[in-house]
Amino acid sequence: MKKNLMLLLIFTFCNQLAFSQKETTVLSIKKAENPIVINKNIYGHFAEHLGRCIYGGFFVGDTSKIPNTAGVRNDIIAALKELKIPNLRWPGGCFADTYHWKDGIGPKENRPTIVNQWWGGTTEDNSFGTHDFLNLCEVLGAEPYLAGNIGSGTVQELADWVQYVNFAGKSPMSDLRKKNGRNEPWKVKFWGVGNEAWGCGGNMTAEYYAGEYRKYATFMSDWENTGGITRIASGSNGADYNWTEVLMKNIPTNMIGGLGVHHYAVINWNKKGDAVDFSEDQYFETMKSALKMEELVTKHAAIMDKYDPAKKVTMAVDEWGGWYEVEKGTNPGFLYQQNTMRDAMIAGTTLNTFNNHADRVRMANLAQCVNVLQAVILTDEAKMILTPTYHVMKMYRVHQDAELLPVSFTSPMYTFEGKSLPAISASASKDKSGLVHISLVNVDSKKENTITIDLNELGLKNVTATILTSKKLQDYNSFEKPNAIEPKEFKGFKNAKGKLELTIPAFSVVVLEGK
């Protein structure tokens, strides 16, 4: 009896010991046989005339006491330059298909006002228009991405806009541009042909929109840019694969430079949940929605490959991010929400997905840049804060225009109430100077995870790391504590004989740099 009891105790102890030992994820990174470059435009942003994104966000006017350049806040300019933002999408969103660009040029006092019917029913005075936006992009060193109006506009209107901003010779529109103070064209490359044509852009069927796209694209001519302009079609709503099928089948590849995809991490469109006061169940469901991006990109890419095996057409995920209920006491139409470590998880995993699909995903735009949805910047009059999402984008900027290094691993699982998700997300690249960067995310809400990487495969010896984490998932940067969450040096790893072992804390983002 005593012998059996002793054996039972030993067996129980061994089981507990095995259970307590850390599960190790082996991450393999190899050089690609046919290298692919991670297009910097994956790290693009989005500025819509919505809530306080433009007015009270970017634009305060040149008479404001807040330091500005031509009415745009200097602190926002500096922050976005630090991110090295490659492109900026404007003026929408849903607003794009109600926007008539000629309302936003010429003397500001002569510009007509309109009602922003989509976002809060506010009066739009058009004081921030084409010149303001394109000059801002020049200051930022970012490519402008203009979304054209095909919902309530005309072919002539969009064709005139292209001529106004791009044509250097003598023409009615270039003469008008010069009259308004700009001699040289801006040479805008990226043009959206409508926005969400399946919804707020006109509630069109895929077949009808394909015909409209072909018509508009035909008259969007440009001889000034090398290689011409890149026309980007209004793409699918999430998993609407038929939309992608119809457009790729009916639009010749020589007429289309990019095809959009929109996907937001949302718990439930009818009950989105609070941006800060959320439960673990809500966190799990948000991450489930965010991680669906992998499936969406893979399946849309497979359809595009069928019609475009040479991968000439870019997949442009030109709206993505987390979407919650607005902050209490704010205008429901302004979509202002706080930004927590949950948003850092969304940003890190999504960008890893885009990096790993860089053969097809060559543009993306986080929604949105300032004061709207998953913003990188929040403002309160003269105050400004950088969100956890901003810090992830800054940590990941090292991947821009770097060579993709394929990663392979079997992720441990994040489990909650019988449901499971992959806990680890990763991507890697090698920049032009030879530095290797590995970005890792652990979405598990409670458990740290151990990862080993064979550095000898890439000939790496010296490694440093940066981490973004906090005590609680619900933590955020406030105007009272603007630096509560910010990147710090990470030392939770050891390098022994070319084998790197690191323990990444729960809900953390880590970027390794090796040479």
Distance, CA of 86 to CA of 364 (rounded, Å): 10
Among 210, 170, 163, 169, smallest CA distance to 191 is for 163
Q: Taking the CA atoms of 237, 234, 244 and 212 in sequence, report the sign of the dihedral they define.
A: positive
Q: What is the largest CA-CA distance in the chain?
A: 102
- Residue 261 bridge partners (DSSP): 236
- In sequence order, the 6+-apart residues with CB closer than 8 A to the CB of 43 are 83, 84, 85, 86, 351, 364, 393, 396, 397, 399, 400
Q: Give SS3 for 237.
A: strand
CB of 351 closer than 8 Å to CB of 442: no
Structure tokens at 337: 């929400």
Asked if 275 contacts 339 with a C-beta cutoff of 8 angstroms, the reply is yes
Distance (Å, rounded) from C-alpha 378 to C-alpha 339? Answer: 9
To the query of whether residue 196 is one of the catalytic residues in this protein, the response is: yes
Cα 231 to its chain centre, rounded Å, is: 19
Using CA atoms, how far residue 253 sits from 140, 250, 304, 310, in Å, is 31, 9, 10, 10
Could you say which of 48, 124, 143, 196 is catalytic?
Answer: 196
Q: Which of 48, 212, 319, 403 is catalytic?
A: 319
Q: Which helix (H) or strand (E) holds 162?
A: helix 155-166
Q: Where are the beta strands (DSSP E) in 287-350?
A: 314-322
Angle, CA 509 vertex, CA 51 and CA 302 arms, to 5°: 75
Inter-residue contact 401 to 39 (CB < 8 Å): yes
167-206 as b/e: b if 16+ CB within 10 A: beeeeebbebbeeeebeebbbbbbbbbbbbbbebbbebeb
Q: How far apart are CA 176 and CA 181, in angstroms?
A: 9
- The two tokens of residue 371 are 């004061």
The distance in angstroms from the start CA to the end CA of the chain is: 61
What's the one-letter identity of residue 164?
Y
For residue 33, with 0-12 CB atoms within 10 Å meaning exposed, 13-18 middle and 19 or more buried, which class applies?
exposed
> Does the annotation mark 403 as catalytic?
no
Distance (Å, whole) CA 14 – CA 21: 11
Residues designated catalytic: 196, 319
